[in-house]
């Protein structure tokens, strides 16, 4: 992209902007250099939980409600001072002071903690638009408060609005559920309504999978041709370094998982499927290690490890932080660790809306040069993406497929013949090019 001397100002609203390597942040922050190269001058509104950006105006705003204040304060203190004595003293004290107001907010409003940030962002956004020649509003979420803030600003100013939906806003519970029936909680019912407002009032809207777009169109025919699909891609630091010419095999088979875990996206189905083989073959068990980076183990994984007596094979390494000695960022170190692993484990989950979702970590994996073991669920498009890149593929709800593929990986590792190759990557640059074409149309 060629730099443009005529700068266009975009008001970018992203609750978690520059927030410690989280997917909801990287999805938008990785696009920023390409937007700037295309002549866009960002003006960003975010929460205080991320790092303040010095390249352009970046306003970090406090939420207006007690639940949001409590959440942001806890994260801010942890980021600024760690989780030592200051965190252990200050955060319970602030939580206790806010408790009566938090309880009242929950009783009267009943929305998620970051909901009140919408009003802070809308208030500041309207002021900025009165002062600046803003071309459009770009909301990215992640946290749905960014979209609601953009909706409010659109109503107040009439400015063009484009919206980037990270995950489906309406979570379906079963194949027969198309998301039109009222959800059970007040927060989820509000999200249903907000999805409708976005589809009706935003000028352009994109999702990250065709499945998510199709269900949104089914619920809101008013969306028409304003909706489209953009693969977000990734450009992690260090990804463009040359790939190692030879893979170093170690004494153990290292299968590495990166990113968050939850009870519905867990190691538990994997461990349950391979446990009988490990019990029957202690030698295989002794030379296997599953490394988990970036998150604590979910409770389902913890329970499975204890019940199946697999404590020796699962190692949780936590978050990979910046290294003050080498000056490498956490993301640079993660890429190095990825490239040293034998196989990268990619967990999709066991929920129905996997049909509308692709794990964001996939795009980092594509840069690693290491083989991927994708354990997917109800998503043929995702399967096709992985197949095109030579991945091992199993299915979450099919234990036999998990066991079969694990046996193949273990045999390939023993033969030092795990297939590796440079993969077709997906970059934020291509995402930005698609967005700019739609905006200009």
Q: pLDDT tens, 355-389?
A: 999 999 999 999 999 999 999 999 999 999 999 99
Share of the chain above pLDDT 70, in %: 99
- Please say if the pLDDT value at position 5 is more than 80: no
Domain 8-233+429-440, classified CATH 3.30.70.1050, yes or no: no
- Please say if the pLDDT value at position 256 is more than 50: yes
Q: pLDDT tens, 167-177?
A: 999 999 998 99
Fold held by 253-414 = Rossmann fold (3.40.50)
Alpha-helical runs (H) found in 19-113: 23-29, 32-37, 66-81, 85-108
What does the pLDDT average to over 35-53?
96
Task: Grade residue 3 by pLDDT with cuts at 50, 70 and 90.
Answer: very low
Comparing 252-256, 259-263, 344-348, 397-401, the range with the smallest average pLDDT is 259-263
Asked if the domains 8-233+429-440 and 253-414 are classified in one and the same CATH topology, the answer is: yes
E-assigned strands of 270-427? 288-293, 314-318, 343-347, 372-376, 392-395
Q: What is the pLDDT of residue 270?
A: 98
Please give the Cα distance from 336 to 320 (Å, whole number).
11
Domain ranges of the chain: 8-233+429-440, 253-414
Please give the Cα distance from 90 to 179 (Å, whole number).
41
Q: What is the pLDDT of residue 280?
A: 97
Comparing 64-78, 223-237, 283-297, the range with the smallest average pLDDT is 64-78
Task: Grade residue 133 by pLDDT with cuts at 50, 70 and 90.
Answer: very high
Single pTM value for the model? 0.90
The answer to whether 204 and 162 are in contact (CB under 8 A) is: yes
What does the pLDDT average to over 33-37?
97
3-state secondary structure of 59: strand
What does the pLDDT average to over 82-111?
88
């Amino acid at each position: 992209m060629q730099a443009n001397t005529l700068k266009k100002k975009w008001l970018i609203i992203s609750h978690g902007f520059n927030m410690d390597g989280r997917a909801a942040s990287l999805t938008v922050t990785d696009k920023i250099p390409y937007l700037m190269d295309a002549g866009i001058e960002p003006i960003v509104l975010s929460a205080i939980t991320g790092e303040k950006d010095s390249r352009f105006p970046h306003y970090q705003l406090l939420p207006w409600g007690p639940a949001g204040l409590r959440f942001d304060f806890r994260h801010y203190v942890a980021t600024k001072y760690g989780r030592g004595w200051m965190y252990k003293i200050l955060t319970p004290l602030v939580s206790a002071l806010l408790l009566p107001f938090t309880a009242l907010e929950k009783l009267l409003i009943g929305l998620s903690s970051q909901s009140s940030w919408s009003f802070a962002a809308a208030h500041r956004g309207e002021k900025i638009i009165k002062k600046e020649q803003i071309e459009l509003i770009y909301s990215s979420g992640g946290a749905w408060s960014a979209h609601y803030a953009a909706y409010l600003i659109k109503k107040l100013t009439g400015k063009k609005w484009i919206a980037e939906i990270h995950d489906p806003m309406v979570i379906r519970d079963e194949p027969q559920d198309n998301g039109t029936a009222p959800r059970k909680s007040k927060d989820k019912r509000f999200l249903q309504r907000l999805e409708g407002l976005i589809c009706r009032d935003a000028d352009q809207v994109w999702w990250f999978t065709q499945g998510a777009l199709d269900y949104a169109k089914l619920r809101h025919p008013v969306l028409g041709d304003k909706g489209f699909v953009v693969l977000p891609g990734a450009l992690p630091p260090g990804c463009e370094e040359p790939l190692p010419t030879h893979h170093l095999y170690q004494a153990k088979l290292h299968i590495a998982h990166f990113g968050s875990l939850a009870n519905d996206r867990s190691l538990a189905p994997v461990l349950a499927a391979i446990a009988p083989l490990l019990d029957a073959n202690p030698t295989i068990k002794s030379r296997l290690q599953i490394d988990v980076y970036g998150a604590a183990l979910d409770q389902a994984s913890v329970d499975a490890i204890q019940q199946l007596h697999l404590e020796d094979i699962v190692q949780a390494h936590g978050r990979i932080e910046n290294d003050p000695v080498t000056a490498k960022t956490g993301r640079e170190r993660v890429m190095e660790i990825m490239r040293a692993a034998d196989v990268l484990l990619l967990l999709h989950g066991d929920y129905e809306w996997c049909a509308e979702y692709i794990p964001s970590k996939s795009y980092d994996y594509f840069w690693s040069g290491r083989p991927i073991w994708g354990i997917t669920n109800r998503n043929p498009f995702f399967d096709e993406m992985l197949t095109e890149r030579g991945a091992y593929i199993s299915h979450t709800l099919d234990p036999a497929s998990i066991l079969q593929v694990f046996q193949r990986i273990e045999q390939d590792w023993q033969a030092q013949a795990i297939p590796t190759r440079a993969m077709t990557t997906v970059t934020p640059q291509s995402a930005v090019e698609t967005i700019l074409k739609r905006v200009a149309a």
